[in-house]
Structure 1
Amino acid sequence: MKIIDFRPEHVLSIKPQACQQYLDLTIAYGEYLMTGNCFTGIHAGEVVAIGGLLPVSDGRAYLHMIVSEGMPHQWTKLYRAASRLIGAVRDDYDRIETLSITPEADRWLELLGFEYEGTLRRVMPGGTDAKSYSIVRQ
């Protein structure tokens, strides 16, 4: 996988995994993602991942990741890209937060240094629960 700078039109090319089918992948959404720091993962010429950090408020950001259905095993490269991004902006934020709905994402977030905070009940589309994770600057 090759990690490149994100462009809004990348959201039109990704075919998200089943648990992310609720996302409204439009150019407007891509432009919203551009308000933060974002990257794209390309494998065999196809967009297979889009991730980054979105500012929420002063001192607070949200980590997001869209992964394509059937993405080949490329988690190490995504980990490195996310880790570099978090490291580059860590001093800009007091808190970086995210949500997880799969055990695989839980493990990946913990490797990135996120700590589990609790479960948010019925917070996702369709009423699914999500686990809340964060990195809080000391």
Structure 2
Amino acid sequence: MRLQPRQRGWAGSVTPDTLAFLATQPSITVLDGGEVLMCGGWLPLWEGRAMAWSMLAEGIGTRMTGVVRAARRMTDTFTGRRLELDVERDHAEAHRLARLLGFTLETPCMPRFYPNGADAAMYVRIAAWA
């Protein structure tokens, strides 16, 4: 999968061991005609709290609707109290995707959050029963 340009800048810091570990956690892969469009899931931090993650292919374009539907089905299965999602602060499409997945902006700026020095924003989904 050729990552979208925004993720290429820091994805090189993700090690094969990290990818192998993520594969043991709740996750999905979205395919279109054998092409990987997205991989994502969440990483439990402690009981009731997890961090969502995703890797998106470059050039998804009109196929984004299917990616959003699949990712929403996945995030809707989360049974903890708090699911967090960080996005690059100036990445408008990532903010839109977070909102489409039912996340709410919690922290508008976390300076120098990513390995490449980019700032992040934190979105969260809090369970209605929490």
TM-score grouping bracket, smaller chain normalisation: 0.7 to 0.9
Give the conservation status (yes or no) of the 8 Å contact 1:35–1:54: no
**Please, what TM-score do these two structures have when normalized by structure 2?**
0.84
**Superposition pairs of residues 50-129 of structure 1, within 5 angstroms:** 50-89=39-78, 91=79, 93-101=80-88, 102-118=91-107, 119-129=109-119
User: Distance in 2 between the 1:42 and 1:124 partners?
Assistant: 27
- Segments ≥4 residues shifted beyond 3 Å: 24-27
- Is 2:18 the counterpart of 1:23? no
Q: Deviations over 1:87-108 (max 9, x none)?
A: 222x2x1100011111111111
* Number of residue-to-residue matches in the alignment: 123
Name the SS of the counterpart of 1:127 in structure 2: coil
Give the letter for the 2:124 counterpart: S
User: Distance in 2 between the 1:27 and 1:42 partners?
Assistant: 21
* Identical counterparts, % of pairs: 32
Q: Deviations over 1:44-95 (max 9, x none)?
A: 3222211112211111111111011222422211111121112222x2x110
Structure 2 spans left out of the alignment, 5+ residues: none
User: Distance in 2 between the 1:33 and 1:43 partners?
Assistant: 22
Give the conservation status (yes or no) of the 8 Å contact 2:37–2:67: no
User: Distance in 2 between the 1:43 and 1:28 partners?
Assistant: 27
Superposed CA RMSD: 1.7
**Please, what TM-score do these two structures have when normalized by structure 1?**
0.79
Name the SS of the counterpart of 1:104 in structure 2: helix
